[in-house]
Structures are given as structure tokens and as C-alpha cells.
Amino acid sequence: MKILHTADIHLGQIIYQNYERSDEHDYYFSQLEQWCREEQPDALIVSGDVFDIQQPSAATWKTFTDKFVHLHRTYPEMHIVIVAGNHDSASRIQSHNAIWELANVHLIGTPPPADFATLEGWEEHFVIKLPSGYIVALPYMTGERTSMIQTLLDYVAADNIEEKPVIMTGHLAVTGSDMTGHDLDIGNVRTQEIKSLGIGFDYLALGHIHKPQTIGHEGDCMEADVTYLAPVIRYAGSALHVSCDETYPHTVSVVELDRHRGNVHIRQLRINELRHFYILPSEQTSYARAEDALEGIRQFAEGKGRGYIRLQVESKTSLPSDFNQMVYSLIEPYHGELRYNPKILWTGIQENEAAEIVKPKFEVAEIQQMTDPLLFIEKTQHQYPELDMDEVREAFVEIEAEIKRMAEENKSSRKRATQN
Ligand SMILES: [Mn+2]
């Protein structure tokens, strides 16, 4: 059984409040298409966060449709399995499943209901049975669902008399993974123990953590070619740098399994990104004067002329209040090829001082009064030049998911109470 494993595509992402990334996604999909054609996998697995926001624009939905129809046509025998991540709308993804099934594309959005075990045929919603093996597909779920997962794996085990490979996919953070690039202070990624994910899979194809890695073999991040004995748990990593902290290479994994409980062979295909991230003047040095920083940008523009740039500045430097505006005017002629991250990296300051700078404070009571606090923050963000809106949005997505989960739990416990 052979699969291509990718994740965290974040279609429709607007980065640094300014830049849409559709040409970068086009470039990624053109590479993915070529790999599907060359590798001819039994399945392409997308382990969540196919979209960046829960209500993507019509243009972003069109991109999704165009890209996956094209991938299907590239190699029609291939199944495509897409599970919803925390950034996706579970119900929207699910609502498109029936039509996509006609093209061997399986969209798994909503998790099983609390009373799943009593529903006839429910396993088939989450288990995709291919001639070469099984794919257990789990969308993003908050909280541990060990018994549900194990029930699915037991269902597969009972069916699997020929000892075919068993793949499971999901969107979650496993305890012990390397979360480089994720801001743990604000996004606060909740982790799940490996043992809570059940027994019986040979390869667990994960998304959510953006750095490509095999759990327990973290040193292999840059290895092109490895073989391990099943079971193997792996993050494919994000398709593009979703933030400038993701300085590691991004890859798509080709995974080959010979049989159930056999060998898992992993190859990494390096994704070539259309725009790279740069720190100016360099990671080791900082600007001490505003003029030098502007001159540095000018030189970069004339030299490379394309990419995302972020400045590193001495903390003692006083920048004019319209400094960011000056930078935007400077890069204007490059028509979005040269892109600026206004969140400056300050050097030479104490930890606690740094925390003061990068964490603007809102009064909780103030925010509780608002019907749309995110809109308020967006509208007043100029008062907080260090605020990273992408991080704030992500935090709100997490909070919304948590509220939804709590409401669901309340509902099902009320239902149980009335039934008793
Ligand atoms: Mn993601």
C-alpha cells in the first residue's frame, strides 16, 4: 500500500493582514500533482486544515474544487482522503462529501456523535476500505475519544483477515511532538497521549503540528528516506510556511507499507516554496537605526526582490511612529512580491521586558461585553503594533471549538438525564 501524506494546507490564508497566498498554493499544488502522477499512490491523505478559516470565500472554495478535481483527473485510480482540522468547518466539509465521493474523494468533517455505537453502519463513515488496505479517517476532535477510536480499529481488525496495512489519519497534537513554529502562549495546543489513540494502526498520518516529524525519531526531520517497523506516527508538516517561525523545510511524505505489522518506508519530497522567509539584516545581527533598516530593505528589494521579510532591531532603537508605513511605501513598487511582517524582532532585552512588548493587554471584562471581540481587535490593531493577528485569530478558532464541544457535551448529558 502506498500513500502520499500531506497536511495543513491552509487555503485562503491571509498572512500579515495583507497578503493572500493563492499563487503560493498554486505552486504547491503543481508539485503535488506531479508527485501523484509519478508515484501513483493508492491514496492521497490530507490530514486536516485544508482551509485557513471556517468560512472560506467563494474564491477559496473554487480553488479547493479546481485543485482536487485536477488531482483526481491526474490519476483517477487514486483515492483522496481529506479530514477536517481545527481551522476547517466540520459541517461544511461534511456537507460536500456525497458529491465528492463520485470522484473517489472522501471528505470527513464531523466527528461521530456521542451515541455512535448504537447507529447502524456508522463505521463505514470513518473507514475507507481500499483493495490494498484500510484508512481510518478521523476529523479534528477536542478531548480524548479513545474508546471510539479503538472500536473503529477493532472493526478493521475483524475484517482484515488478509493482514493488509492499516492507516489511520487525524488532526491533533501528540504529547512529545516538536512544536517549533507554534506559539504556545496564545494558541496553547492541547496534547494527547499516544496510548489514547488506540492499537491496531500501522501508520498514523497526522496533521496539526506544522513541523514534519516521526514521533520517537525526531532526528529524521531532514532524512529523505527511512524504514521503521510499524506502528509509525508521523506529521507530514504544513504545505507552506504558515508563519515566519516555521524555518524548517516543508515536505510531502511518500509512505509504503508491505503488510499489517510490517515495515513502513517513508520518503520525503521537498516542497519548493514560491516565496521564502528572511530576517534582515540576518538572524545573528540587528539594526540599530531606522535608516539602516530602511536601507537594508531597499538593498534586499533590489537584490532578491521576492519573499517575506521581517526586521531584527536593537531594543534601544527608537523607530518613528510611522515606521511601518515607511516600509510599506518602500516596498510598494514590488507589487506584493516583496512582503513585510510588521512584527519586529527586538534584540538585547530581558525576557520579561520582551513579554511586555509582544503581549498587548486587553481587559477581559471589556472583551466579554462585546458581540464580536475579534472585529474590535482588528479595528484597533494599529494601537498594538506588536500584535500578531494570525495568532489572535487562531486563538479565537480554538476558543470557538472549545465552546462548541462544551455545548455538545452539555446537550448529550442533558439527553441522557431525560432518558434516565
Ligand atoms: Mn494547521
Distance 183 CA to ligand 1 centre (A): 12
The CA distance from 204 to 98, in Å, is 25
Q: In terms of Cα–Cα distance, which of 3, 12, 5 is closest to 393?
A: 12
Q: Cβ–Cβ contacts within 10 Å for residue 227, how many?
A: 12
Half-sphere exposure of 106 (CA within 13 A, CB side): 24
Distance 81 CA to ligand 1 centre (A): 17
**Predicted local distance difference test score (pLDDT) of residue 388:** 75
Distance 50 CA to ligand 1 centre (A): 8
Distance 416 CA to ligand 1 centre (A): 34
Question: Which element (helix H / strand E) includes 348?
Answer: none
Distance 122 CA to ligand 1 centre (A): 27
Instruction: Report residue 166 as a C-alpha cell.
Output: 492499516
Distance 238 CA to ligand 1 centre (A): 7
Distance 49 CA to ligand 1 centre (A): 5
The CA distance from 270 to 258, in Å, is 24
For strand 43-46 and strand 79-83, is the pairing parallel, antiparallel, or unpaired? parallel
Distance 355 CA to ligand 1 centre (A): 25
Distance 318 CA to ligand 1 centre (A): 35
What's the sign of the alpha-carbon dihedral 161, 229, 111, 193? Answer: positive
Please count the residues of the chain: 420
Q: Is 10 helix (H, G, I), strand (E, B) or coil?
A: coil
Distance 48 CA to ligand 1 centre (A): 7
Distance 314 CA to ligand 1 centre (A): 32
Q: Is 232 helix (H, G, I), strand (E, B) or coil?
A: strand
| Cα 229–Cα 216–Cα 133 angle in degrees, nearest 5 | 40
Q: What is the dihedral of CA 63, 68, 70, 76, to 10 degrees?
A: -170
Distance 13 CA to ligand 1 centre (A): 11
- Counting DSSP H helices and E strands in the chain, the numbers are 12, 21
DSSP output for 24-75: HHHHHHHHHHHHHHHH--SEEEE-S-SBSSSS--HHHHHHHHHHHHHHHHHS
The CA distance from 220 to 333, in Å, is 42
Q: What is the pLDDT of residues 22-77, one digit of tens each?
A: 999 999 999 999 999 999 999 999 999 999 999 999 999 999 999 999 999 999 99
The CA distance from 276 to 264, in Å, is 32
Distance 239 CA to ligand 1 centre (A): 10
For strand 251-257 and strand 263-270, is the pairing parallel, antiparallel, or unpaired? antiparallel
**Predicted local distance difference test score (pLDDT) of residue 412:** 65
Distance 405 CA to ligand 1 centre (A): 19
Question: Which residues are paired to 86 by β-bridges?
Answer: none
| Cα 232–Cα 235–Cα 239 angle in degrees, nearest 5 | 145
**Predicted local distance difference test score (pLDDT) of residue 179:** 84
Q: What is the pTM of this model?
A: 0.83
Strand order through the sheet with 127-130:
127-130, 133-137, 166-171, 203-207, 232-235, 213-214
Distance 216 CA to ligand 1 centre (A): 21
DSSP output for 105-172: EEEE-SPPPTTGGGSTTTHHHHEEEETTEEEEE----SS--HHHHHHHHHHHHHH-TT---EEEEEE-
**Predicted local distance difference test score (pLDDT) of residue 207:** 97
Distance 52 CA to ligand 1 centre (A): 8
**Predicted local distance difference test score (pLDDT) of residue 350:** 57
Q: What is the dihedral of CA 65, 71, 75, 80, to 10 degrees?
A: -70
Map out the domains of the chain with their CATH numbers. 2-270 (3.60.21.10), 277-336+344-387 (no CATH)
Residues of the chain with pLDDT under 50: 185-187, 358-359, 420
CB 397 within 8 A of CB 89: no
Distance 126 CA to ligand 1 centre (A): 21
Distance 245 CA to ligand 1 centre (A): 13
CB 301 within 8 A of CB 331: yes
Distance 315 CA to ligand 1 centre (A): 32
Distance 199 CA to ligand 1 centre (A): 25
